[in-house]
Structure 1
Amino acid sequence: MAELAFPKDAMRVLKETSRTFYIPITFLKRELKHSVASAYLIFRAIDEIEDHADLDNDAKYTMLMKVSELFEQPFNNEEYFRILGSEKANLPDVTVRLEEWVQACPKDAQPIVMDAAREMAWGMAKWAKENWNIQTREDLDDYTYYVAGLVGVMLSDLWALYADEQTDRELAIGYGRGLQAVNILRNEEEDLDERGVNFVPEGWTRAELFKYAEENLAKADEYMKSLHKRSIVLFCRLPLALAHKTLKAMKEGREKMTRAEVEQTVEEVKSE
């Protein structure tokens, strides 16, 4: 019965914080919708710690490592607030309310989601300590695995749990990496200007980053072939279609897709 009581406010917060994934999540059937929605809120909560402009890297490392450990046992909100400490007042609502998103996750899915959250927080902590100093393709692969590739793996585990869909782990990682690579390309100047962070390997040109994105999006296209349930296909197809079209727009010298292009893509995917 817990799944029936999924908090409406969680979907509101999701819509406000994760526009890219809100629409595809609404395509999913009940248990998957609730599992994936709560997972994305949990990931966003962690991500806001990694991205926070007023936290130094040592503070991010310590906080994220401790949060990672929290996901190894039943979630303790008092301990979580102790970890956030005085920074709690400066962190966004989605981060402060992490316990609510954990509780909203269906019980069957919780081990899968918590394990992914634990791994993500650990990986983000590691890269915060390194000041996201990405020197090689291996470094980029490692970083994009922790922030996106492992989400692909988690989703595949949820597809298997609720819909008996069997997928390839490496292709699932490629799916996540491909979307993240497009984000890195789109936000390259902003990341450098606002955070002083460059996710591009030493010596790489923008053309090489485009190639990296295309290689991983090709894996994502291959991943799609293993999916059969319509709601899951729709969920995966929309972010992928937007990523392909965003990449095309940037190759044409545009910063991003227009709102009209985004809306048209949503309609195209829904009608397929």
Structure 2
Amino acid sequence: MAEIAFPKDAMRVLKETSRTFYIPITFLQKELKYSVASAYLIFRAIDEIEDHADLDNVVKYEILQQVSELFERPFNNEEYFRILEPVKSIMPDVTIRLEEWLQACPMDVRPIVADAAREMAWGMAKWSKANWNIRTREDLDDYTYYVAGLVGVMLSDLWAHYADEKTDRDLAIGYGRGLQAVNILRNEEEDLGERGVSFVPDGWTRAELFEYAEENLAKADEYMKSLHKKSILLFCRLPLALAHKTLNAMKEGREKMTRAEVEQTVEEIQSE
């Protein structure tokens, strides 16, 4: 049922909500594409709760904690809507439709995806309650693990399941952390100005944040060496190439890559 019903609408919502990952997901083969697409929609649904500008941090904490607990057992949509009720009117479509994304995930890997979602919601709840008060490198490692590193671990579990690809967990976490560190650098002023939040450890300069990103992207480069299946390689190469090039653009004093540079990078990866 999940395959027949994998909704075209899910790919539409994915395209609207995840510009970085929509194209690489289309590189993947059928079951793997459905698994990763549904996982990203689930993560986006949770992320929209953590990110919402109009929600109090305590409310975010309570909702995310309860959502995390939902993933510990067969997902109950009535219970989910009860949890969301106080904020449902201001939640985006992707969050309201969380159960649809879970149902779209192939049954054999649904426990892998649900467990990652449980862990992510728990970690986001913790950091929402703490107002993302990143004081040390350990704090930054912890936060970037919950919002990105664990996604690298989940993807590695999917690669192992579908393609028998063996990867290193620490390098998989580094892959996710590297991408997130680039996002933190790119959005540093916006996060501080609009949300009053800084993900930069106490005493760190921007140069040290660049070093953190480069250190983790180096792990991501190492991670790539363990992959052999072409569609998975293509999937992993594109976000990583964009992260490296975005980092270089920021080093040159630019805010981000140009659209033309992004399009050229997509073409380069597809032609490899």
Q: 1-side partners of 2:235 and 2:204: how far apart?
A: 32
Partner of 2:138: 138
Shift of residue 3, structure 1, vs aligned partner: 1.8
* Residue 129 in structure 1 maps to residue 150 in structure 2: no
TM-score if structure 2 supplies the norm length? 0.99
Question: Which residue does 1:194 correspond to in 2?
Answer: 194
Q: Which residue does 1:28 correspond to in 2?
A: 28
Corresponding residue number in structure 2 for 1:240: 240
The CA deviation string for residues 111-161 of structure 1, in whole angstroms up to 9 with x for no partner, is 000000000000000000100000000000000000000000000000000
1:68 matched residue in structure 2:
68
Residue 35 (structure 2) pairs with residue 18 (structure 1): no
2-structure distance, mates of 1:186, 1:225: 27
Counterpart CA distance in 2 for 1:182 and 1:60 is 25
Counterpart Cα distance in 2 of 1:49 and 1:10: 19
Residue in 2 aligned with 1:267?
267
Q: Is the 2:179–2:217 contact (alpha carbons within 8 Å) kept by the matching residues of 1?
A: yes
Runs of 4+ in structure 1 off by over 3 angstroms are none
User: Which residue does 2:182 correspond to in 1?
Assistant: 182
Amino acid at match of 1:181: A
What CA distance in whole angstroms lies between the structure 1 residues aligned with 2:32 and 2:144?
A: 24
TM-score scaled to structure 1, two decimals? 0.99
Question: How many angstroms apart in 1 are the aligned matches of 2:155 and 2:82?
Answer: 31
Letter aligned with residue 24 of structure 1: P
Alignment correspondent of 1:152: 152
1:220-246 alpha-carbon deviations (Å, 9 max, x no partner): 000000000000000000000000000
Alignment pair present for 1:81 and 2:88: no
Whole-angstrom distance in 2 between the partners of 1:152 and 1:162: 15
Percent of matched pairs sharing the same residue: 86
1:174-199 CA distance string (max 9 Å, x none)? 00000000000000000011111100
Corresponding residue for residue 256 of structure 1: 256
Contact (CA 8 Å) 2:2, 2:103: kept in 1 or not?
Answer: no
RMSD: 0.6
1:103 and 1:5 mapped to 2: Cα distance? 9
Shift of 1:2: 2.7
Listed as ranges, the matches of 1:155-234 within 5 Å are 155-234=155-234
Quote how far apart the aligned CAs of 1:4 are.
3.5
Does residue 112 in structure 1 map to residue 131 in structure 2? no
Structure 2: give runs of 5+ residues left out of the alignment. none
Structure 1 stretches of 5 or more lacking a match? none
For residues 77 and 54 of structure 2, what CA distance do their matches in structure 1 show?
Answer: 23
Cα offset, 1:85, TM superposition: 1.3
Is the CA contact 2:24–2:234 (under 8 Å) kept in the aligned structure 1?
A: yes
Taking the aligned partners of 1:109 and 1:253, their CA distance within structure 2 comes to: 43
Count of aligned pairs: 272
* Distance in 2 (alpha carbons) for counterparts of 1:126 and 1:104: 28
